[in-house]
Structure 1
Amino acid sequence: MNIIKSMSAPVEGAKPKFIQLVFVDINGVPKGMEIPAERYEEAASDGIAFDGSSIPGFQGIEDSDLVFKADPSTYAEVPWEGIARVYGHIYRDGRPYPADPRGVLRSVLKRLEGEGLKVYIGPEPEFYILKKNGSWELRIPDSGGYFDLVTLDRSREVRREIAAYMRGFGLIPEVLHHEVGNAQHEIDFRYEEALKTADNIISFKYIVKAVAEMHGMYATFMPKPLHGFPGNGMHLHISLWSGEENVFTGEDGLSEKALYFMGGILKHAKALAAITNPTVNSYKRLVPGYEAPVYVSWGYRNRSALIRVPAFWGKGARIEYRCPDPSANPYLAFAAVTAAGLDGIKRRVDPEGYVEENVYEMGDEKRAALGITTLPTNLGEALEELKRDPVIRDSLAGAYDRFIGYKEREWEGYLSHLRSKGMPEDTKKVTEWELERYFYV
Structure 2
Amino acid sequence: MNTNPYAMHANLVVRELGKPADAFTKADLVRFIMEHDIQMVNFLYPGGDGRLKTLNFVINDAAYLDTILSCGERVDGSSLFSFIQAGSSDLYVVPRFRTAFVDPFAEIPTLNLLCSYFDKDGRPLESSPEHTLEKAARAFTATTGMEFQAMGELEYYVIRPDETAYPAVDQRAYHESAPYAKSNDFRTRCMHLIAQTGGQIKYGHSEVGSFHQDGRLYEQNEIEFLPVRVQDAADQLTIAKWVIRNQAYREGLDVTFAPKITTGKAGSGLHIHMRMMKDGRNCMLDHGKISDDARRMIAGMMHLAPALTAFGNKNPTAYFRLVPHQEAPTNVCWGDRNRSVLVRVPLGWTADVDMCAKANPLEAGAGTLKFDTALKQTVEIRSSDGSADVYQLLAGICVACRHGFEMPDALNVAAQTYVDVNIHAQENARVLSRLSQLPDSCVASAECLLLQRRVFEAHGVFSPAMIEGIVQQLRAFDDATLRRDIEGRPDQIAQLVERFFHCG
**What is the SS of the residue equivalent to 1:296?**
coil
Native 8 Å contact 1:387 1:393 kept in 2: no
CA distance in 2, matches of 1:98, 1:178: 39
Shift of 1:433: 3.4
Partner of 1:77: 102
Native 8 Å contact 2:95 2:113 kept in 1: yes
Counterpart amino acid of residue 57 in structure 2? I
Q: 1:238 aligns with which of 267, 274, 294?
A: 274
- Equivalences for residues 210-289 of structure 1 within 5 A: 210-289=246-325
Q: 1:149 aligns with which of 177, 198, 206?
A: 177
Change in CA separation of 1:161 and 1:184 when aligned onto 2, cut-off 3 Å: same
For the pair 1:424 / 2:452, whether they are aligned, the reply is no
Change in CA separation of 1:358 and 1:406 when aligned onto 2, cut-off 3 Å: farther
For the pair 1:203 / 2:239, whether they are aligned, the reply is yes
Shift of 1:110: 1.8
Q: What is the alpha-carbon root mean square deviation over aligned residues?
A: 2.7
TM-score under structure 1 length normalisation: 0.87
CA distance in 2, matches of 1:223, 1:393: 28
CA distance in 2, matches of 1:267, 1:440: 27
Partner of 1:329: 389
Change in CA separation of 1:301 and 1:140 when aligned onto 2, cut-off 3 Å: farther
**What is the SS of the residue equivalent to 1:158?**
helix
For the pair 1:34 / 2:100, whether they are aligned, the reply is no
Shift of 1:427: 6.9
For the pair 1:120 / 2:180, whether they are aligned, the reply is no
Partner of 2:25: none
For the pair 1:45 / 2:112, whether they are aligned, the reply is no
Partner of 1:107: 135
Shift of 1:173: 2.4
Q: 1:345 aligns with which of 405, 418, 423?
A: 405
Shift of 1:100: 0.8
Shift of 1:220: 0.7
For the pair 1:439 / 2:502, whether they are aligned, the reply is yes
Partner of 1:173: 201
CA distance in 2, matches of 1:402, 1:237: 27
CA distance in 2, matches of 1:321, 1:158: 27
CA distance in 2, matches of 1:140, 1:56: 42
CA distance in 2, matches of 1:28, 1:235: 17
**What is the SS of the residue equivalent to 2:135?**
helix
Partner of 1:3: none
Shift of 1:440: 5.8
Native 8 Å contact 1:57 1:403 kept in 2: no
Change in CA separation of 1:367 and 1:282 when aligned onto 2, cut-off 3 Å: same
For the pair 1:129 / 2:158, whether they are aligned, the reply is yes
Partner of 1:405: 472
Q: Which structure 1 segments of 5+ residues have no match?
A: 1-11, 133-138
CA distance in 2, matches of 1:175, 1:253: 26
**What is the SS of the residue equivalent to 1:176?**
strand
Change in CA separation of 1:319 and 1:130 when aligned onto 2, cut-off 3 Å: same
Residue by residue over 1:58-96, the C-alpha shift from the partner in whole angstroms, topping out at 9 and shown as x without a partner, is 531244211011100001111221422211211112111
Shift of 1:221: 0.5
Change in CA separation of 1:26 and 1:435 when aligned onto 2, cut-off 3 Å: same
Native 8 Å contact 1:51 1:63 kept in 2: no
For the pair 1:396 / 2:396, whether they are aligned, the reply is no
CA distance in 1, matches of 2:320, 2:57: 40
Native 8 Å contact 2:316 2:442 kept in 1: yes
CA distance in 2, matches of 1:437, 1:275: 16
Native 8 Å contact 1:306 1:322 kept in 2: yes
Residue by residue over 1:236-256, the C-alpha shift from the partner in whole angstroms, topping out at 9 and shown as x without a partner, is 110011231222221241111
Counterpart amino acid of residue 356 in structure 1? D
Shift of 1:392: 3.0
Counterpart amino acid of residue 230 in structure 1? A
Change in CA separation of 1:427 and 1:400 when aligned onto 2, cut-off 3 Å: farther
Shift of 1:229: 1.1
For the pair 1:89 / 2:150, whether they are aligned, the reply is no
For the pair 1:354 / 2:418, whether they are aligned, the reply is yes
Native 8 Å contact 1:386 1:393 kept in 2: no
- Equivalences for residues 59-78 of structure 1 within 5 A: 59-78=84-103
Which deviates more, 348-357 or 193-202? Answer: 348-357
**What is the SS of the residue equivalent to 1:87?**
strand
Counterpart amino acid of residue 424 in structure 1? D
CA distance in 2, matches of 1:212, 1:64: 34
Partner of 1:8: none
Native 8 Å contact 2:338 2:344 kept in 1: yes
Partner of 2:46: 24
Counterpart amino acid of residue 340 in structure 1? A
CA distance in 1, matches of 2:207, 2:394: 24
Q: 1:314 aligns with which of 374, 387, 401?
A: 374
Native 8 Å contact 1:238 1:318 kept in 2: yes
Give percent identity, aligned residues only.
Answer: 23
Counterpart amino acid of residue 339 in structure 1? V
Shift of 1:425: 6.2
Counterpart amino acid of residue 125 in structure 1? L
**What is the SS of the residue equivalent to 2:208?**
coil
Residue by residue over 1:305-362, the C-alpha shift from the partner in whole angstroms, topping out at 9 and shown as x without a partner, is 1111112232223211111112211111111111111111122412132112399x77
Native 8 Å contact 2:336 2:420 kept in 1: yes
CA distance in 1, matches of 2:85, 2:39: 33
CA distance in 2, matches of 1:399, 1:17: 37
**What is the SS of the residue equivalent to 1:152?**
coil
Change in CA separation of 1:358 and 1:151 when aligned onto 2, cut-off 3 Å: farther
Change in CA separation of 1:401 and 1:358 when aligned onto 2, cut-off 3 Å: farther
